[in-house]
Amino acid sequence: MNIIGNLLIAPPSVKGNFWQKTVIIVTEHHAQGSVGLVLNRRSELTVKQFGEQLGFTINQPGHLYVGGPINNQSLSFLHTNEWISKNTMRINDRFSVSSAEDILPRMAMGDTPIKWRLFLGMCGWGQGQLVSEMKGIKPWRHENSWCTSTSDLDIVFESDGKDQWANTLDRSGQEFAQNLLV
């Protein structure tokens, strides 16, 4: 499976740390490493409150999300493909990610994609690390290997929190079973 645009799901055995019950969309995967965004770590801040802190009046629903433990001041905008900015990278046929200074001003003007989430921070893996984690290659343990699943607009944008984790974990199991039958 091509992992760009697909989901990483923390298995139930991962407990007591940041990664517990996380769902991550992989936005980049290449020889130098991998990047992703945690989809189900909602911050306490609404998008409106976040905008106000930065001097923008944004009358859009939703919360700011914690995209991961690195670059926690880095703003990323995951969205559907019909919308683009100065710095938009197309992930696949459904999703793009943007990180440009014009995102918040455009949101304040009501210029938003059909579906979107706004993140501070991201996840990152060094060269070969993500694949090693997925396969449980030392120093990572197989019982803590990431589960994987395909993504779609509903699972990425229409669910949240533990429900999103449970739904994607179920989907991962179904996809695994279907692949055994092929």
**What is the predicted pLDDT for the residue at 177?**
79
pLDDT tens digit sequence for 157-171:
998 888 999 999 989
- Kindly provide the b/e burial profile for residues 80-97, where b requires at least 16 CB atoms within 10 angstroms of the residue's own CB: beebebeebeebeeebbb
pLDDT tens digit sequence for 47-90:
999 999 999 999 999 999 999 999 999 999 999 999 999 999 99
Residue 161 lies in a domain: yes
Contact 153, 94 (CB under 8 A): yes
Determine which helix (DSSP H) or strand (DSSP E) holds 121, and give its type and residue range.
strand 116-125
Query: How does DSSP classify residue 103?
Result: H
Residue 105 lies in a domain: yes
Structure-model confidence comparison of residues 44 and 137, the more confident one: 44
Q: What pLDDT band is residue 124 in, cutting at 50, 70 and 90?
A: very high
Residue 1 lies in a domain: no
Whether the pTM exceeds 0.85: the reply is yes
Residue 132 lies in a domain: yes
Residue 26 lies in a domain: yes
Residue 149 lies in a domain: yes
What CATH number does residue 114 fall under?
3.40.1740.10
pLDDT above 60 (res 1): no
Instruction: Express as a percent the part of the chain with pLDDT over 70.
Output: 98
SS3 96: strand
pLDDT above 70 (res 182): no
SS3 128: coil
**What is the predicted pLDDT for the residue at 128?**
92
The chain-wide mean pLDDT, for the chain, equals: 93
**What is the predicted pLDDT for the residue at 37?**
98
Q: Pseudo-torsion of CA 147, 149, 155, 159, nearest 10°? A: 0
Looking at the structure of the chain, the number of domains it has is: 1
Residue 2 lies in a domain: no
Residues 6+ apart with CB under 8 A from 4: 26, 27, 28, 29, 91, 92
Strand partners, 75: 120
Range of the domain at 161: 7-181
pLDDT above 80 (res 36): yes
pLDDT tens digit sequence for 16-28:
899 999 999 999 9
